[in-house]
Amino acid sequence: MVAFLFPLTLALSGFPWAFAANIQKSGLRLPRDAKTHRDEVIQIFTKSYETYKKYAWGHDDVQPISQTWNDHLNGWGATIVDVLTTAHVMGLNDYVNEAINYVGTIDYQIAHNDGSVSLFETTIRHLGGLLSSYELTGKKHKVLLDKAVEIADKLAYGWVNGSDVPYGHLLFTRDAPSVPEDLTQTSNIAEAGTLIIEWGSLSRFTGNTTYNALAEKSFRRIMNNPAPLPGFAAQGISPATGDPVGGYVSWGGGSDSYFEYLVKHTRLTNTDDKSYIDAWHAAVDSTISTLLRRSTVGNWLYAADMDSQKRIRHVGSHLACFYGGNFIMGGKMLNNKTIVDIGLDLNEACWNTYAGSTSGIGPEGFAYISTDGNFTGSDISPEQIEFYGQHGFYSTSSYYILRPEVLESNFYAWRTTGNTKYLDRAAQAIQSFNKWLPASNFAANATGYGGLNDVLDPTGGGPVDDTESFWFAETLKYLYLIFDDPEHINLDHYVFNTEAHPFKAPPAKPSYGSGHPVPPNQGPFRVNHGDPLPAVSPAPKVPASTPEPTPQ
């Protein structure tokens, strides 16, 4: 048995250390060089976007080395929509106006690739970007709201025959799920549980409560289902029945943003319904008692996965590294210092994957060894053991596709503590990005930025020839805001969706939740078998030989 790493009684109850459940530390002051770093981020942003405009305008992503484009998100110009809120935050009004004009030309009735549309990706990028921009620009551009209604009305066909849980992918040509005729398909709780901020905001802005009702019934079904650990939902879920599939639990991709939205929906709406934040508190408590592990080298703190056979898997991921910021935000809302401190500690381990990599950029997936072993579901090589002995982690997927999560948690850590080490780390990230990610590293006439095949290789292992839209929406926004006036997009005034599109929040309540980790009234859990889970955030230009993790 693994001993508890923190006093469980502190995790179980609130710790009254504030008069209100504010998240951001008051009186933050920036050092003199903050403007220099802020301008460096703007330069990266503009170079990246000008490359997109030159070679990929109107398409989803630019491929900066081959100087072409791809439409892996249905060809509606995902980058343009994801750029909107970051350009607004940076004060780049010409980009904002140009993008708004483009949005008016999008035809959301037609999907321009194979016709299969991701409900999750379209919600967080398009619906989130349109609605956040509508609000940030003073609700003056009705075309943004009109287009949000247009895309939501198509996505609503994901709910079939009054089902609680939507199907993850749709065929717009048939206004139906892109699944077999018997409607067998497994979704995951991130796909089905990361809708309430966007669909709820659409209801607030239009007065049509149907949108919120659809998202809320999926959210609540996940929350109320029997769970492998108290409050901690299984990753897989069946849209046909609404029941869990398998018993895999994780803070990583496929689960991550469901837990994120339990906290953020509570804060954005100031709902009096305590069940959401209480369910999150219960999941955190289960994490403390069952999943937290420290590495035998470096004493780094990680939250492990647990599979259907209840085996601890000593794995982590760039996607999971959002959890540092999530614990910080939720702990602040609960006035629970223990949870905040765990979040800060989780963030330290995630930053170590950057600090320990040759490029100064963290890998997509990693693993570690704890006192209870090193089981991951895969073998560990002598080279990985040697690397682990030096750094306290080893890479399992070494590519980097411009993900934001480590810098996202670093942003929350800065805004809540005021510790300038987080500014130093952000400055180091800028240096690493400018050294390793320019497309000109791989083709003399190329411009813009792309990913790396191997962040541990002294050469970078070659390029990932793609600039994901979340590079603009998330990574560069969080990096910019770390060096921006802390009162601009103050964490007590705004809540970010999982694509970092900010929504205005009401003043904080004195506290949230019951003060105890109260899981929903869940029945006994049993493992239900079903179709394989969908791929987690597949990267369009990562070599096919790069394996995606397969939860069991």
Catalytic residues: 364
Q: Which residues contact 490 (CB under 8 A, 6 or more apart)?
A: 24
Q: Is 546 exposed, middle or buried (0-12, 13-18, 19+ CB in 10 A)?
A: middle
First to last CA, the chain: 23
- Transcribe 166-183 into DSSP letters: --SEEETTTTEESS-TT-
Residue 414 near residue 422 (C-beta atoms within 8 A): yes
Exposure class string for 83-103: b at 16+ Cβ within 10 A, else e: bbbbbbbbebeebbebbbebb
Bridge partners, 438 (sequence order): 449
Q: Strand (E) positions, 400-506?
A: 451-452, 463-464, 494-496, 502-504
Exposure on the CB side of residue 245, measured as CA atoms within 13 A: 24
What is the rounded CA–CA span in Å between residue 417 and residue 419?
5
> 3-state DSSP call for residue 32?
coil
Q: Strand (E) positions, 137-291?
A: 169-171, 176-177, 187-188, 236-237, 244-245
**Longest distance between any two alpha carbons in the chain, whole Å:** 62
Residue 476 near residue 450 (C-beta atoms within 8 A): no
**Helix, strand, coil % (nearest 5) of the chain?**
45, 10, 45
